[in-house]
Amino acid sequence: MSNRVEAVDRALSILDAFASGRAVLSLKDVAEATGLYKSTILRLCGSLEAFGYIRRGQDGLFRLGPKLWQLGNQYQHGFNLEVYVRPVLRQIVDDTNETASFFIRDKSDRVCLFRENSRQPIRHAVEEGLRLPLDRGAAGRILRAFHGDAVASKQSAGIREQGFYFSDGERDPYAAAVAAPVFGTDDACLGALAISGLRERFGPGTVERLGNIAMRHARELSRILGSSGQVAQ
């Protein structure tokens, strides 16, 4: 991209080196993680340290600085999931002309947190706040398969391997849906993006196309929400 600054990219790659979860890194560790020369790292860290993003102790080891805590705290206070999810749902409706929803898990249920209904006159309407079971429907299956306490089953393993799930009349005999997982920081499953409509519009070729659309938008939303993209299958 022409509007990127190489020096900024390099400095941010140093901060990204801490994404592995290690609180302390040596100069060698940073060099291995970023591919940068040690002399370059030292120059960039000088600027990062001046602004409070990095601290280098007397032991020569690098630690994250207090500025990141301050920014993270501000981000948490200003974070509004709806701001990120709504545009994705609208784009899915534009791409598919079917209803798009975002579900979260709440104990043994799933809740439709946000939705954008299809503009078609005959459509599958999903209401925000609707509470549904986890064991039926595409979004429910996704939330079960990718949640931290996912049941160790062949079905869950198959869902994780495929990356999306297709349900055909599981909850509503007239409706079908595909869904894909959305992840956040620490690659924890935040919710499920679902595309739903009338069963007759979900033929074999359509299911694959909609599944790929759901996964593409879910991956991009996950990236925006802080996922590393290294989710274990």
CATH number of the structural domain spanning residue 38: 1.10.10.10
Where does residue 5 rank: exposed (0-12), middle (13-18), buried (19+ CB within 10 A)?
Answer: exposed
Q: Is residue 101 part of a domain?
A: yes
Q: Are residues 64 and 104 in the same domain?
A: no
DSSP structural state of residue 227: -
Helix (H, G, I), strand (E, B) or coil at 166: strand
**Average pLDDT of every residue of the chain:** 87
Q: Is residue 37 part of a domain?
A: yes
Model pTM score = 0.68
Give the integer Cα–Cα distance in Å for 213 and 155.
Answer: 22
Give the integer Cα–Cα distance in Å for 105 and 144.
Answer: 8
Q: Is residue 233 part of a domain?
A: no
Q: Are residues 94 and 73 in the same domain?
A: no
DSSP structural state of residue 179: E
pLDDT at position 233 over 50: no
Q: Are residues 129 and 43 in the same domain?
A: no
Q: Which two tokens stand for residue 4?
A: 């990127």
Q: Are residues 16 and 105 in the same domain?
A: no
Q: Are residues 38 and 100 in the same domain?
A: no
Q: Are residues 125 and 155 in the same domain?
A: yes
Q: Are residues 67 and 127 in the same domain?
A: no
Last residue of a domain, one of 33, 48, 77: 77
Q: Are residues 104 and 219 in the same domain?
A: yes
Last residue of a domain, one of 77, 103, 137: 77
Helix (H, G, I), strand (E, B) or coil at 66: helix
Q: Are residues 193 and 85 in the same domain?
A: yes
Give the integer Cα–Cα distance in Å for 223 and 218.
Answer: 9
Q: Which two tokens stand for residue 26?
A: 């040596």
Q: Is residue 1 part of a domain?
A: no
Give the integer Cα–Cα distance in Å for 222 and 215.
Answer: 10
Count of domains observed in the chain: 2
Q: Is residue 112 part of a domain?
A: yes
pLDDT at position 162 over 50: yes
CA dihedral (162, 163, 169, 170) in degrees, to 10, reads 90
Please say whether the beta carbons of 153 and 201 come within 8 A.
no
Give the integer Cα–Cα distance in Å for 37 and 42.
Answer: 9
Quick: pLDDT tens for 172-182: 888 999 999 99
Quick: pLDDT tens for 2-22: 678 999 999 999 998 887 678
Where does residue 77 rank: exposed (0-12), middle (13-18), buried (19+ CB within 10 A)?
Answer: exposed
For residue 166, the enclosing domain spans 81-224
Q: Are residues 91 and 201 in the same domain?
A: yes
CATH code for the domain in which residue 196 is found = 3.30.450.40
